[in-house]
């Protein structure tokens, strides 16, 4: 999404986990769109690097929750590889199973999550509050009741 597609100049934001991956991409997208950004991360070295690259934030901050689904990258690759190794199955089969959980048959990218955050920081979302925004390529991230351990959504397919 083009940063100029939304009116975000003069807005402020806080990005947690901004030292790397999705958080770093979100923070960079917000800065590119003219948002004043404050960042934090539990990894002090990664945070210091992010702070060198990004702007600081003002005091007027709104907080909104964004819940990304399976985001393509090294962390998801490690999960898929670990499951493949533990089940003695090809990585490609496990990746296909993870992808098939999405009606879009694909993983979310860090840019997809950053785009959603840009929308939330714009004037166009001024009446959105108290909501979690799922960026999941169609996978439902929460249930109204805790899932039953036998629920097909949680069962490994051998």
CA–CA separation, 109 and 131 (whole Å): 21
Q: Regarding predicted confidence, which is higher, 34 or 112?
A: 112
pLDDT in tens, 41-59: 778 788 778 877 777 444 4
pLDDT at 90: 97
- Give domain status of residue 97, yes or no: yes
Which whole-number Å values give the CA distances from 110 to 4, 23, 29, 55, 118, in the listed order? 19, 8, 10, 20, 12
- Give domain status of residue 143, yes or no: no
pLDDT band, residue 156 (cuts 50/70/90)? very low
- Give domain status of residue 48, yes or no: yes
pLDDT at 40: 78
pLDDT at 31: 84
∠ CA 3-22-120, rounded to 5°: 45
Structure-block tokens of residue 12? 């402020």
Structure-block tokens of residue 121? 């920081």
pLDDT at 80: 96
CATH number at residue 121: 3.40.50.720
CA–CA separation, 127 and 83 (whole Å): 41
Compute the 3-state secondary structure of the chain and give helix, strand, coil in percent, each to the nearest 5.
40, 15, 45
Share of the chain above pLDDT 70, in %: 73
Q: Which of 9-13, 22-26, 93-97 has the lowest average pLDDT? A: 9-13
- Give domain status of residue 121, yes or no: yes
- Give domain status of residue 140, yes or no: no
- Give domain status of residue 157, yes or no: no
Q: Regarding predicted confidence, which is higher, 13 or 19?
A: 19
- Give domain status of residue 98, yes or no: yes
* Number of domains within the chain: 1
pLDDT in tens, 64-120: 667 788 899 999 999 999 999 999 999 999 999 999 988 889 999 999 988 988 888
The kind and range of the H/E element at 82 are helix 74-87
CA–CA separation, 100 and 98 (whole Å): 6
pLDDT at 133: 79
- Residues 6+ away with beta carbon under 8 Å from 122: 6, 7, 8, 11
Tell me which residue range forms the domain holding 100: 3-135
Q: Specify whether the CB–CB gap between 100 and 12 falls below 8 A.
A: no
- Give domain status of residue 148, yes or no: no
**Could you tell me how far CA 111 lies from the centroid of its own chain?**
8
pLDDT at residue 155 tops 50: no
pLDDT at 14: 82
């Amino acid at each position: 999404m083009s940063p100029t597609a939304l009116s975000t100049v003069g807005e402020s934001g806080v990005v947690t986990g901004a030292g790397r991956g999705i958080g770093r991409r979100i923070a960079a997208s917000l800065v590119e769109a003219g948002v004043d950004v404050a960042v934090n991360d539990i990894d002090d070295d990664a945070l210091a690097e992010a702070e060198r690259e990004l702007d600081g934030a003002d005091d007027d901050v709104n907080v909104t929750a964004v819940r990304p689904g399976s985001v393509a990258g090294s962390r998801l690759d490690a999960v898929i590889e670990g499951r493949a190794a533990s089940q003695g199955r090809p990585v490609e089969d496990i990746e296909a199973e993870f992808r098939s959980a999405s009606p879009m048959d694909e993983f979310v990218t860090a840019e997809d999550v950053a785009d959603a955050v840009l929308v939330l920081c714009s004037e166009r979302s001024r009446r959105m509050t108290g909501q979690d925004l799922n960026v999941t390529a169609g996978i439902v991230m929460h249930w109204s009741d805790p899932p039953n351990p036998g629920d097909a959504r949680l069962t490994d397919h051998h």
